Amino acid sequence: MVRYAEPGTVEWVESGGGPLIAVPETVLPFWAGADGEETASDYDRACEIDGHVGLLPVGDCTALVLGDEPASTAYLPEHGVFVRWCAADSENELLASVPAAVDAAEWEPEVCWDVPGAVLLFDAAWPGSAPSGDDRVRVVLEPGRYAVRAARVQPGPETWVGLVQVRLVAPR
């Protein structure tokens, strides 16, 4: 994890080159990452997601894959978005652009994601049992069905941000 602001303000997760994944805590042991005896590992399945977001079965739940590029990513609960740092001169510049980026976004089609509660965001190559506190971010979500949509926005001349918005549409 990389922190660009004051500790505890915004926590960023980075990837070693592949997608990030948000796995419900209840099924973390079922995510094998790049390990495994299968011909196609869980990581391989995550890499096959085409586009900015996708869903993969994990245990009796579904994980959210943040694909497209391995950008540093943070979750901003006040906006209900995963923010992906594509280009910006500073964290402050990037974070200040988020409200305008959300308003200006041309969203891709939504997917529905059923979530049993909190999820962990981490590099999809890691097994669910392996990421340490510095390799992941815990995202507290209310159990229920979420509409998930993604966009890539240029809110400033030198600023590009990826957005993955999660909106609760049916609480449990």
Q: What digits encode the pLDDT tens for the residues 75-130?
A: 999 999 999 999 999 999 999 999 999 999 999 999 999 999 999 999 999 999 87
Instruction: DSSP for 101-139, please give it.
Output: HHHH--PPPPEEEEE-S-EEEEETTS-TT---GGGEEEE
Domain membership of residue 69 as a residue range = 20-171
pLDDT digits (tens, 9 = 90+) for 22-59: 999 999 999 999 986 667 899 999 999 999 999 999 99
**Residue 1 forms part of a structural domain:** no
Whole-number Å distance between alpha carbons of 157 and 112: 33
Whole-number Å distance between alpha carbons of 172 and 158: 41
pTM value?
0.91
> How many domains is the chain partitioned into structurally?
1
**Residue 94 forms part of a structural domain:** yes
Structure tokens at 152: 């890539």
**pLDDT value at residue 132:** 58
**Residue 14 forms part of a structural domain:** no
**Residue 143 forms part of a structural domain:** yes
**Residue 154 forms part of a structural domain:** yes
Q: Are 13 and 121 in contact (CB under 8 A)?
A: yes
